[in-house]
Amino acid sequence: MSLAHRIIPCLDTDGSRVVKGVNFVGLRDAGDPVALAARYNAEGADELVVLDIAASRDRRPTFLETIRCVAAELSIPLTAGGGIRSLEDARAVILAGADKVTVNTAAVERPGLITELSREFGAQAVVLAIDAKRLNDHWDVTVRGTLGWAQQGVALGAGEILLTSVDRDGTQLGFDIPLTAAISRAVSVPVIASGGAKLPGHFAQIFSEGAADAALAASIFHDGVQSIRELKHFLAARNIEVRLPC
């Protein structure tokens, strides 16, 4: 029996408020993270991701309090990250109520961090976030090729890949199918596709053609463009395995 595909809302925060932009710029206020978490929990989301995109040290206490308040509203797994650079940072986020942590820049700079986190919390709790941007006919990540970095991250102990297309982020033009399919074929762990979702058909396509295990979106859920409940029924009607809300 195949595993159900997951629908995951994402809350990008500045520590205390949800924000959203296009291609990672032009940020606007998008609401209260605790209220949004409660809404998505009730709507049938499979998991929730909360990221501190400001991630400066002076915001860490604020972010941890946000995690505590969000976790109290959830009966689904919570992934949190942003500015996690050490085992101590990750432990604080887990103790605040997160089930998984996500790492990005710090892991690129020091890949051994992935192994440290995996040994401490288990691979299932370590999500490697990759922000990929197309350069000519291939993708790149700050300093590493996307495909090779994804494979290396899994070898080091990451239990999941959160793959964001920077080019598609916030555009609502659809997920990057070739990018997601290439990474999904190359690694043995689940891949969460992110960047560009708007229409129900975009989700159907990323599961059927992009081979993603999960799909993440933000503004379309925050703004009420797409209902998680209706989206799941749309997918189920097209024989895409999902966990239908009660």
CATH value at residue 164:
3.20.20.70
* pLDDT at residue 55, rounded to an integer: 65
Contacts of 159 (CB under 8 A, 6+ apart): 118, 122, 123, 124, 125, 126, 127, 189, 190
Whether residue 71 is contained in a domain is answered as yes
Residue 244 in any domain: the answer is no
Contacts of 98 (CB under 8 A, 6+ apart): 50, 67, 71, 78, 79, 80
- Kindly give the parts of the chain with pLDDT less than 70: 1-2, 21-30, 55-59, 136-144
Computed over every residue of the chain, the mean pLDDT equals: 89
Number of domains in the chain: 1
131, 169, 176, 213: the catalytic one is 131
pLDDT of residue 59: 60
Structural domain contains residue 145: yes
- Per-residue confidence (pLDDT) for residue 54, from 0 to 100: 75
* H or E stretch at 112: helix 112-121
Instruction: Tell me if residue 12 is catalytic.
Output: yes
Q: Which of 12, 46, 52, 213 is an active site residue? A: 12
Residue 245 covered by a domain: no
- What pLDDT does residue 30 have? 59
User: What's the pLDDT score for residue 83?
Assistant: 87
* Catalytic residue check, 140: no
pLDDT recorded at residue 18: 79
Model's pTM, two decimal places?
Answer: 0.91
Question: Which residue segment(s) compose the domain that 46 sits in?
Answer: 6-237
Burial class of residue 136 in the structure, from the number of CB atoms within 10 Å of its CB (0-12 exposed, 13-18 middle, 19+ buried)? exposed
pLDDT of 142 reads 43
**Is 13 within a domain?**
yes
